[in-house]
Amino acid sequence: MIKLHDLYFKPFISEEEIQEAIQKMVDEIVDDLGDEMPVFVGILNGSFMLVSDFVKLYPKPCEVTFIKLASYEGVKSTEDIQRLIGLTQDLTGRTVVILEDIIDSGNTLEEVHRIFRNENVKQLLIATLFYKPEAYDKDYKLHYIGMEIPNKFIVGYGLDYKGLGRDMPAVYQLKTTQYMTNLVLFGPPGAGKGTQANFLKEKYDLVHISTGDVFRYNIKNETALGMLAKSYMDKGELVPDQVTIDMLNKEVEKNSDAKGFIFDGFPRTNAQAKALDQLMESKDSQINAMVALEVDDEVLVQRLLERGKTSGRADDADESIIRNRIKEYYDKTAILKDYYSNQDKYYGVDGVGSIEEITVRLSGVIDKL
Ligand code: IMP
Ligand code: MG
């Protein structure tokens, strides 16, 4: 992923794919023109890379020239096109092939046709590397098309966003969701995960998704997914990961303008971690970090026994039950620690200290993500 100014872009078309598309255009044009010597006219600025690669591949003699038009502001095409540098040579009776990097609304192309109306060329052929059929609203024929692409803003290979990105040899596509900070929060029982989740949610404006809460909500409200989950639970079976993922997906979609999410209680297995990665990817996003509160077993046992005295929770009163819960936590999360470590996304945070001390440590990790 790359960032230009305020926006994020993801890899979309590789250098190899671009070169293949250009070779295809070259072959088609040579086939059609035979021994007729064409004048290739590049439309600046965007087409400089295309023209360069194109004429290197073109196997026969040709002439090359440029005109410079401007029509773009930010990520939206405007109708107001300026002619900055016009034609500088006589093209009477010549076969002209326009080389465009991209055809979007077709406004630029319309201007190109206007320019050539008085030039008495033999024929005017249009070749474009990228073409957005959903955006094109003109009737001019496009003779050669390298690649059709969806109506999303791209950069690279000559194309820019506010002046940046033209130099990149591959093409990147604007991410539809803006950048989010998504955390998987872990902590053994008694580590203070709930307290810290509340703090993180406030400080970073994140949405806290506790899988337990999501399940209870869906079952209580008898949503389709809730009923489905319940049908497994009633049979004493595990709820399939896909059902849980579908519920999480609904939560993510409900909060589509969130700055990010804290996942709590999920994933618990490698398969679930992969599924969560896929879910985030489908939203043009990612898991940035697994943040795990690390607290020494003995400290946890003392904290939970202390809590048991006042909370009356039976499972907090028995030391062997407590130790077992802690052990179970480590058995389960060890796999996930490996999963996220392998992606350089595991952050262990010392969970011993005052609440404030721990929040400072957590902020230290998140601010660097
Ligand atoms: P049109 O006039 O709307 O067809 O757009 C043509 C010009 O707008 C191109 O020559 C580019 O300079 C620019 N443009 C169109 N779509 C994109 C894009 O996705 N990224 C960057 N520039 C674009
Ligand atoms: Mg252009």
Q: How confident is the model at residue 77, as a pLDDT?
A: 62
Instruction: Find the distance separating the first CA and the last CA of the chain, reported in whole Å.
Output: 14
Is 192 annotated as belonging to a binding site? yes
- Within 6 A (CB) of ligand 1 lie 43, 46, 71-72, 77, 101-109, 153-155, 159
Q: Please identify, by atom number, the ligand 1 atom nearest to the C-alpha of residue 100.
A: 10
Predicted local distance difference test score (pLDDT) of residue 306? 87
Give pLDDT, residue 185.
Answer: 95
Q: Over range 12-28, report the average pLDDT.
A: 98
Please give the number of the atom of ligand 1 that sits closest to the Cα of 45. 12
Going from the Cα of 99 to the center of ligand 1, the distance in angstroms, rounded, reads: 13
Mean pLDDT of the chain: 92
Active-site residue, 268 included: yes
- Look up 94 and say whether it is catalytic: no
Residue 103 CA to ligand 2 center (angstroms) comes to: 8
CA of 173 to the centre of ligand 1 (A): 13
- Residue 82 confidence (pLDDT) above 90: no
Q: Consult the annotation and say whether 313 binds a ligand.
A: yes
- For 21-48, how does the pLDDT look when each residue is reduced to its tens digit (9 = 90+)? 999 999 999 999 999 999 999 999 999 9
For ligand 1, atom 5, name the residue with the nearest CA: 104
> pLDDT tens digits for 141-161?
999 999 999 999 999 999 999
Query: What is the model's pLDDT at position 175?
Result: 84
pLDDT score of 72: 56
pLDDT band of 280, cuts 50, 70, 90: very high
Give residue 78 CA to ligand 1 midpoint distance, Å: 9
Task: Say what the pLDDT of residue 84 is.
Answer: 67
* Catalytic residue, candidates 268, 337, 345, 361: 268
Ligand closest to CA 164: 1
Tell me, what's the pLDDT at 79? 63
Query: Is 193 annotated as ligand-binding?
Result: yes
CA-111 nearest atom, ligand 1: 2
pLDDT bracket for residue 200 (50, 70, 90)? very high
Catalytic: which of 83, 307, 323, 337?
307
Q: How far is the CA of 77 from the centre of ligand 1 (A)?
A: 6
Neighbours of ion ligand 2 (CB under 5 A): 43, 46
The closest ligand to the CA of 160 turns out to be: 1
SS (H, E, C) the chain: CEEECCEEEEEEECHHHHHHHHHHHHHHHHHHHCCCCCEEEEEECCCHHHHHHHHHHCCCCCEEEEEEEEEEECCEEEEEEEEEECCCCCCCCCEEEEEEEEECCCHHHHHHHHHHCCCCCCEEEEEEEEECCCCCCCCCCCCEEEEECCCCCEEECCECECCECCCCCCEEEECCCCCCCCEEEECCCCCCHHHHHHHHHHHHCCEEEEHHHHHHHHHHCCCHHHHHHHHHHHCCCCCCHHHHHHHHHHHHHHCCCCCCEEEECCCCCHHHHHHHHHHHHHCCCCCCEEEEEECCHHHHHHHHHHHHHHHCCHHHCCHHHHHHHHHHHHHHHHHHHHHHHHCCCEEEEECCCCHHHHHHHHHHHHHCC
Q: What is the pLDDT of residues 301-359, one digit of tens each?
A: 998 888 888 877 777 778 898 899 889 888 888 889 999 999 999 999 999 988 999 99
Going by CA atoms, what residue is nearest to atom 20 of ligand 1? Answer: 154
Closest ligand by atom to 72 CA = 1
